[in-house]
Amino acid sequence: MQRVICSRIRDLYDVDISAMTQFTVLDTTASARKTSKLFEESIVTDCTMHVLNLSLQYAIGMRENKETVDVYDPATNSCKRENATVRLETPMRKGRI
């Protein structure tokens, strides 16, 4: 199927897309998932950029790692949901990033 797509575009538009399919954009639609399976050797750029963006945001403190927890409130005798910041308890080593 990959060859059919590439040859059809080459015949119609005189463009070789095999060089351009090195990078594909990740999407959740069925057609995008099917296309990404046809070009298995391509690099999924959306996912990579999203992970890099999140890593940078966590590193410079723009985003906190939060989770929703259930907390018992003795005043009302019920549980309520709160957001709690999750912190990793790992020692920072000097000179390491």
Residue 72: inside a domain, yes or no?
no
Would residue 71 count as lying in a domain? no
**pTM as predicted:** 0.29
Q: Is residue 78 part of a domain?
A: no
Instruction: Write out pLDDT tens, residues 11-53.
Output: 888 877 776 665 555 555 566 566 666 666 665 555 666 666 7
Instruction: Quote the number of domains for the chain.
Output: 1
Annotate the chain with DSSP letters as a single string.
Answer: -HHHHHHHHHHHH---TTTGGGEE----SHHHHHHHHHTTTSEEHHHHHHHHHHHHHHHHTSS--EEEEEEEETTTTEEEEEEEE-----PPPTT--
How far out from the chain centre does Cα 43 lie? 13
Instruction: Report yes or no on 27 lying in a domain.
Output: yes
In-domain check, residue 85: no
Range of the domain at 14: 2-63
Mean pLDDT of 2-18: 79
Give the contacts of 41 (CB within 8 A, at least 6 positions apart): 22
Is residue 87 in some structural domain? Answer: no
Instruction: Calculate the alpha carbon distances from 87 to 33, 36, 58, 66, 71 in Å.
Output: 35, 36, 11, 9, 18
* 7 assigned to some structural domain: yes
90 falls within a domain: no
